[in-house]
Amino acid sequence: MRILVAYATTEGQTRKICRFVSDRLAGNGHTVELLNVADAEGLDAARFDAAVLAGSVHVGKLQPALIAFARAQAGALAERPTLFLQVSLAAAGQAPEDWEELRAIARESFDEAGWTPGRIEHVAGAFRFSEYDFFRTWAMRWIAAQQGQKVDPKSDREYTDWGALGAAVDDWARSAAEQR
């Protein structure tokens, strides 16, 4: 299949995740185009057989550029198998109220864009202190403390479960191929 992998990222972890996803799909014989939604001008998602969209949660919201991309491509996306990868730190934890919020963000963010993802996967992201300014460093230390985690602001920490992500992507691609 020809598969589009389109993402928005603020500190870079979703780009890393989408590179991994692209390599995984290409390794399984698919033709993949990896695209930052900031560079999507002129793109027609109808050129592809299936699409993966990905974005990260910041203060309870996804990147507006990702939602704008979904709105612009909603017609083509609705007719193809799609997977939405939502990257967050809450997905690294088990708190039921955090998970309820993550599910609501994934469910509702694209409502006004007119797109409903075919499948949603929550992916744990990373603390990237190397990318944060003073305010963000302070905010993220506070968030970590709220979750009972100790973080060292001198080093980044990744929570992404690459094995689980790879298995989910393989499974989605298999069922997408069957739907064609």
Ligand X SMILES: Cc1cc2nc3c(=O)[nH]c(=O)nc-3n(C[C@H](O)[C@H](O)[C@H](O)COP(=O)(O)O)c2cc1C
Q: Which residues bind ligand X (CB under 6 A)?
A: 9-14, 56-60, 87-90, 125-126, 128, 136, 139-140
Helix, strand and coil percent figures for the chain, each rounded to 5: 45, 20, 30
Using the minimum distance from each CB to ligand X, give the nearer residue, 53 or 176.
53
Cα separation values, 15 from 54, 107, 115, 143, 178, Å: 9, 22, 22, 23, 28
Q: Which residues pair with 36 in a beta bridge?
A: 7
Distance of closest approach, residue 178 Cβ to ligand X, in angstroms: 30
**CB count, 10 Å around CB of 12?**
15
Using the minimum distance from each CB to ligand X, give the nearer residue, 118 or 125.
125
Distance of closest approach, residue 59 Cβ to ligand X, in angstroms: 5
Distance of closest approach, residue 125 Cβ to ligand X, in angstroms: 2
What is the C-alpha to C-alpha distance for residues 168 and 8, in angstroms, rounded to an integer?
Answer: 20
Using the minimum distance from each CB to ligand X, give the nearer residue, 80 or 122.
122
What is the C-alpha to C-alpha distance for residues 117 and 64, in angstroms, rounded to an integer?
Answer: 16
Closest-CB residue for ligand X?
Answer: 125
Distance of closest approach, residue 3 Cβ to ligand X, in angstroms: 20
**CB count, 10 Å around CB of 35?**
18
Using the minimum distance from each CB to ligand X, give the nearer residue, 119 or 136.
136
